[in-house]
Structure 1
């Protein structure tokens, strides 16, 4: 029988995100509560200011660009305290938001803009050059590009406050949405085919997951405590374009009235300084950050004692890391689990169980069922390993423009096949041990091997190639490594390895670089059908590493 959540069922209102966030009757914080803060400029938004700014921007979209229900707005930006208002302003106008990685190249961004059918793009001045190139490729006119952030550009590019101010009238009414059918977000998740897939998330998906996360993070509160007049304060560095940051940080923080300090990007020194200065009490993190907290010398310079708990997600977290951090700074780290297709969070460790169940991704959040399935798609008993399938109101609607992908991912009775392998113990704790999918997870980002292989095969000195993920303990993450068959006459050398790595780095986003390096080989092992046998390469890599370690000990 499928496993049920140990949490009591929660009521999920049948409303869109605007009503959920702005028209609720049970809000327990005031209009003037400061929610989003930029620590570098001290610029901030109260709850009321976010609502007003979002309303004005939504009216501006309707008035300036004749925004229609279902139109897609791309956002190509590092984290900004302006992002939430722009996002919900788009929802006010009945639109769909498609956030993109600000590290994307013009080609990568253009693909997402074209695939999503984006009608306009929001970006920042440092990203403007690439945004312009991508919009030209995607057929988005320059007058449909607007800016957020503190920098303003000369010329024709409007700041979003100008789009907002052009409304100036009450005649543009808020669009009505069907929470079950109308999309709120199109987030892009890489697929093994090499092209990212548009994950269709409706309003109900995000409403449901915000409430599910709230149930799992019950100990967080906006109520004042001694030394913390604002209640719990969250540090937000997780990318807002990533579903982890988008739902868990942006939507949960706003719904619960939690003061949220927004970092545009992570660096360990700034992170520690902000924790100390703003008395951060809770942080969502990823394993490479946990690793830095356990080892980086700068950590010793700061007082991090305000932190009550950290939650790690996006990639597996080892017991060794949890223990090392707790030993050094006495801050507990629990783990959660989710996917873009589940909005994202399906499991989290209860606060009180963090030390007892290290290694587990937690217990299932409310209103879901799950089961582990054999390769023959038969449910396996508790304790046995299988592929995790999940069903709940947070499960996505399907992949955009990809009927076959949707059919392969969703069962007729509503289960999502996660592609992750693991098991459940007798106490209802879930464990993830491996992945069916071949995606490489670099610091929470998904890197499709086929995409990198396709690019590398166009290199003039490469005959054949296979890319796989290899775990680097010093980085606490998988990194892409390429096995390369050089063309005849091409000399395998460290110089050639570096040249190939640099060549690819110029063509892909930062997280897709060959941080694992290049290894030269005579041939790529393949099945009779031509499929690359990555498992054989992984075994070979491990043997090579063991041999290298053995020599180092001599």
Structure 2
């Protein structure tokens, strides 16, 4: 319940404050899709401790990189991850991260304190009022999101309370979520898409229900759909293919699903049409980025728009320019580089001054690296990335275009060019 979520987040915040964590400290969190992920998220927000939420497939290279960038005082992780089965990796991090003092682990551990004990320790809660909690400035950093990592190890994206809250509110408005919304979180909970587009935070804002799946496979999701009746879910295109081709689909009642969001990569029009027909759902395409800008197809869009575009900006305050390699606007309908700024788009990566110089124009537009077109109605069609072009005799063809032709073949589930 919401009351339990609030109480356990408060208990954990109280415990961490008693250990000496305070506003401005940083943390690395690496948890799977689980209830505790959200308890930890809100507990750290109460303290103004700034986390980065690492994905479960991140290993020594990524976590060491985050530790070097953030100098965290705390790590919260899961004993199921190979790095935290014993203390060896934590001790390695401590040796090169002087600030690192505390570790909490989800699951049973012989070497570290267990997260579950602290969520249920009533003694922590009793002292909450006497601990130094305070209101936070809305423009302060709330946590760090991760870039797509197309240039190597993911870069850290500072997200403020203001910009992220705005993004969640706008998403909920576009998607028309309310207390009846039941959302299946099948993608990694830490991702920007299932966290805020509208994602779990959108559900909490609207007063609905989150159902956590361990991963997006048919075997994990179909039984949860039949048992808990979610009406919304979010997937990436390869997972859509797995759902459609799964023999298990006929064994389960999936009729509660009314809307299926798809994002993270471009969805072929062929797969979009098949998805709506076979799953009997409305497709909502989502084209967003952890740096800010989010585009949605609307629920009342016509079929062509739903199947062939990745939607339009969710906020009237979003600014978009599609430009050529010299930062000059291209004619409407022609492919170019997407640049954007707006009320919830970030202002720069953490500790990346040189990269930021290249990532922003002189007038503050973020250069996303996406190659897109814009229709007369303002909808975005993603062509690919600026580095994903095939140059054949001077003719430039987006790899995405070739992929879409290949995906039209019924024997092909997924491909990359």
Fold-level similarity (TM above 0.5): yes
1:138 & 1:156 partners in 2: Cα distance? 15
**Alignment partner, residue 377 of structure 1:** 327
Q: Is the 8 A contact 1:209 1:394 kept in 2?
A: yes
Instruction: State which of 74, 83, 87 in structure 2 corresponds to 1:120.
Output: 74
The verdict on how the C-alpha distance between 1:420 and 1:97 changes in structure 2, with shifts beyond 3 A counting, is same
Unaligned runs of 5+ in 2: 390-398
1:80 & 1:51 partners in 2: Cα distance? 16
**Alignment partner, residue 425 of structure 1:** 375
The verdict on how the C-alpha distance between 1:60 and 1:413 changes in structure 2, with shifts beyond 3 A counting, is farther
Instruction: State which of 9, 27, 32 in structure 2 corresponds to 1:73.
Output: 27
Q: Is the 8 A contact 2:334 2:374 kept in 1?
A: yes
TM-score, normalised by the number of residues in structure 2: 0.87
Q: Is the 8 A contact 1:107 1:134 kept in 2?
A: no
Instruction: State which of 151, 165, 177 in structure 1 corresponds to 2:136.
Output: 177
Matched pairs, number: 391
2:150 & 2:225 partners in 1: Cα distance? 38
User: CA shift at 1:192, angstroms?
Assistant: 4.6
Instruction: Specify which structure has the bigger relative contact order, considering alpha-carbon pairs within 8 angstroms and separated by 6 or more residues.
Output: 1
2:82 & 2:160 partners in 1: Cα distance? 29
2:187 & 2:90 partners in 1: Cα distance? 26
User: CA shift at 1:259, angstroms?
Assistant: 0.7
User: CA shift at 1:154, angstroms?
Assistant: 3.4
The verdict on how the C-alpha distance between 1:437 and 1:95 changes in structure 2, with shifts beyond 3 A counting, is farther
Cα deviation code 1:28-52 (max 9, x no counterpart):
xxxxxxxxxxxxxxxxxx1122122
User: CA shift at 1:104, angstroms?
Assistant: 2.0
User: CA shift at 1:475, angstroms?
Assistant: 4.2
The verdict on how the C-alpha distance between 1:283 and 1:266 changes in structure 2, with shifts beyond 3 A counting, is same
User: CA shift at 1:387, angstroms?
Assistant: 0.8
1:426 & 1:163 partners in 2: Cα distance? 52
2:164 & 2:16 partners in 1: Cα distance? 23
Cα deviation code 1:90-131 (max 9, x no counterpart):
111111110111112223322222222221111122126447
Cα deviation code 1:147-197 (max 9, x no counterpart):
23xx322354232542773634121132332222x2112122244542321
TM-score, normalised by the number of residues in structure 1: 0.66
Secondary structure in 2 matching 1:173: coil
1:51 & 1:117 partners in 2: Cα distance? 28
Q: Over alpha carbons, which structure has the higher Rg?
A: 1
**Alignment partner, residue 232 of structure 1:** 181
User: CA shift at 1:142, angstroms?
Assistant: 8.6
Unaligned runs of 5+ in 1: 1-45, 223-230, 440-467, 479-537, 539-554
Secondary structure in 1 matching 2:211: strand
Q: Is the 8 A contact 1:123 1:147 kept in 2?
A: yes
- Please give the residue correspondences for 1:47-66 in structure 2 after superposition, counting only pairs within 5 Å: 47-64=2-19, 66=20
Matched, 1:246 2:195: yes
Q: Is the 8 A contact 2:11 2:118 kept in 1?
A: no
2:324 & 2:187 partners in 1: Cα distance? 34
1:433 & 1:352 partners in 2: Cα distance? 24
- Please give the residue correspondences for 1:253-264 in structure 2 after superposition, counting only pairs within 5 Å: 253-264=203-214
Instruction: State which of 275, 282, 289 in structure 2 corresponds to 1:332.
Output: 282
User: CA shift at 1:431, angstroms?
Assistant: 1.0
User: CA shift at 1:380, angstroms?
Assistant: 2.0
**Alignment partner, residue 221 of structure 1:** 178
**Alignment partner, residue 91 of structure 2:** 136
